[in-house]
């Protein structure tokens, strides 16, 4: 059973990454474009408003990058930091525990993205396509160098 779980771990990480990125991007889209119910139950965040508009851009762009697995670690790092900022600036001053201050979502996104910083994108990521092309290019280049040397 353990070997089966270990073998499928990259796919579980990918599913986690995809769902987390989609949910995060949805928050950004709601705040910026008023879709999916809009920001805070309706409407949009005014362009350039601090910190809401910048947070929404990070959510939309960062969530989209994490969703497709492009620059996953960097995007997850920025997204995690933005959620830590949201938690400590908007929620934590109201009460100590996330359940009391309404910061559960910020805390969960912060830790979920921090996990992705360390695990990487898993399987089915655009990052993996670039890595395999780079590795294939290096392999063929090494073979060419060996042929020239021989």
Task: Give me the DSSP letters along 82-142.
Answer: HHHHHIIIIIGGG-SSHHHHT-HHHHHHHHHHHHHHHH---SS-HHHHHHHHHHHHHHHHH
Checking if the pLDDT of 148 tops 50, the result is: no
The pTM of the full predicted model, rounded to 2 decimals, is 0.85
Averaged pLDDT, 84-97: 95
Checking if the pLDDT of 37 tops 90, the result is: no
Q: Using CA atoms of 8, 21, 42, 33 in order, give the dihedral in degrees to the nearest 10.
A: -140
**In the 8-state DSSP scheme, what is residue 49?**
-
Averaged pLDDT, 109-136: 89
Helix axes 104-119, 72-86, angle to 10 degrees: 160
- What percent of the chain is predicted at pLDDT more than 90? 71
Checking if the pLDDT of 106 tops 90, the result is: yes
Averaged pLDDT, 42-46: 86
Q: Would you say 19 and 25 are in contact if contact means Cβ atoms under 8 Å apart?
A: no
């Amino acid at each position: 059973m353990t070997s089966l779980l270990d073998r499928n771990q990259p796919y579980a990480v990918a599913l986690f990454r995809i769902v987390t990125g989609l949910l995060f991007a949805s928050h950004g889209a709601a705040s910026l474009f008023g879709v999916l119910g809009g920001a805070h139950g309706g409407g949009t965040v005014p362009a350039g408003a601090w910190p809401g508009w910048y947070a929404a851009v990070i959510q939309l762009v960062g969530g989209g990058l994490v969703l497709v697995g492009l620059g996953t670690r960097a995007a997850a790092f920025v997204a995690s930091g933005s959620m830590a900022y949201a938690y400590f600036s908007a929620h934590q001053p109201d009460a100590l525990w996330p359940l009391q201050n309404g910061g559960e979502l910020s805390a969960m996104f912060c830790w979920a993205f921090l996990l992705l910083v360390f695990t990487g994108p898993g399987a089915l990521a655009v990052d993996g396509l670039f890595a395999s092309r780079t590795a294939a290019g290096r392999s063929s280049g090494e073979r060419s160098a060996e042929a020239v040397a021989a």
